Amino acid sequence: MNTRPATETQSTIPMEHRWGVRVSIDAPVRLTSDGDAEAYGLVRNASISGALIETPLALPVLSNLTVQFRNFELAACVTRSEPGRLGVEWRDMGCQRLVELLHESQRDAELFDRDHAFD
């Protein structure tokens, strides 16, 4: 039997379940849900496991959608839904084209930081 007070056994802090390091990418995307809803958005950051997308599209958690980048698309599932943005998890984690996009974005950010180190 648990004799500890509920405050000691339950946390009010939401837990993160990410599998990868987030990289800022600011990539424009087109979103299409299984329910045929469609909108444009901007991927603010992404990892091999998911992304944060700013979009006017409102979808409930666990909705399936397709995220179409400039030259590839990924199936995803909504894991977080807030006004103006969605958190998604990729159905195909570690997709080669996504990994390339993340490496390219990370390299660009490092070059920007190095070029502007003394601004």
Per-residue pLDDT for the chain (119 aa), expressed as one digit of tens each?
A: 445 454 444 444 444 454 567 889 999 999 999 878 899 999 999 999 999 999 999 999 999 999 999 999 999 999 999 999 999 999 988 889 988 988 888 776 554 444 434 34
- Pairwise CA distance, residues 53 & 25, whole Å: 11
Q: Is residue 1 a part of any domain in this protein? A: no
Looking at residue 21, its pLDDT comes to: 76
Q: Is residue 11 a part of any domain in this protein? A: no
Q: Is residue 12 a part of any domain in this protein? A: no
Q: Is residue 98 a part of any domain in this protein? A: yes
Burial class of 4 by CB neighbour count within 10 A (0 to 12, 13 to 18, 19+): exposed
Residue among 79, 104, 102 nearest 21 (CA): 102
CATH of the domain at 31: 2.40.10.220
* Prediction pTM value: 0.74
